[in-house]
Amino acid sequence: MSTAGGNGVPGSGREAGMGLSGTLQQQLVFLNTHWGTKYSFTAPAKLGGQWTAVARFGQHDQLAAESAAELLELVRGHYQANKPAGGEAQ
């Protein structure tokens, strides 16, 4: 898992500027590589479908977006807003 500046937020480092590209499978691998310990991801069955993420902590909130990039932004915001003070989400 990648973190930047010691802030404890995965995915906020170097890969934040890279964006998501490639096949649905490649995008899913990217999300799981950087956020898979905190969220469970599901790619759409075909291009144009809905991406989903379910938090592995708290109330197991479900997030949905039309693209992997949009979902990544939702995940980052959700994690920042819902992680316990002082570190890792449980």
Using DSSP, state whether 10 is helix, strand or coil. strand
Residue 90 lies in a domain: no
Query: What are 15's two structure tokens?
Result: 């890969």
Residue 78 lies in a domain: yes
Question: CA 71 to CA 68: how far, in whole Å?
Answer: 5
Residue 58 lies in a domain: yes
pLDDT digits (tens, 9 = 90+) for 62-78: 999 999 999 999 999 99
Q: What's the confidence (pLDDT) of residue 89?
A: 52
At 84, is the pLDDT very low, low, confident or very high (cuts 50, 70, 90)?
A: low
pLDDT digits (tens, 9 = 90+) for 15-39: 444 568 899 999 999 999 999 999 9
Q: Which structural domain, as residue segments, surrounds residue 52?
A: 20-82
Instruction: Indicate the average pLDDT of the chain.
Output: 80
Residue 10 lies in a domain: no
Q: What's the confidence (pLDDT) of residue 73?
A: 97
Count structural domains, the chain: 1
Residue 9 lies in a domain: no
Closest CA to 78 of 35, 46, 30: 35
- The number of beta carbons lying within 10 Å of the beta carbon of residue 26 is 12
Residue 24 lies in a domain: yes
Question: CA 55 to CA 13: how far, in whole Å?
Answer: 20
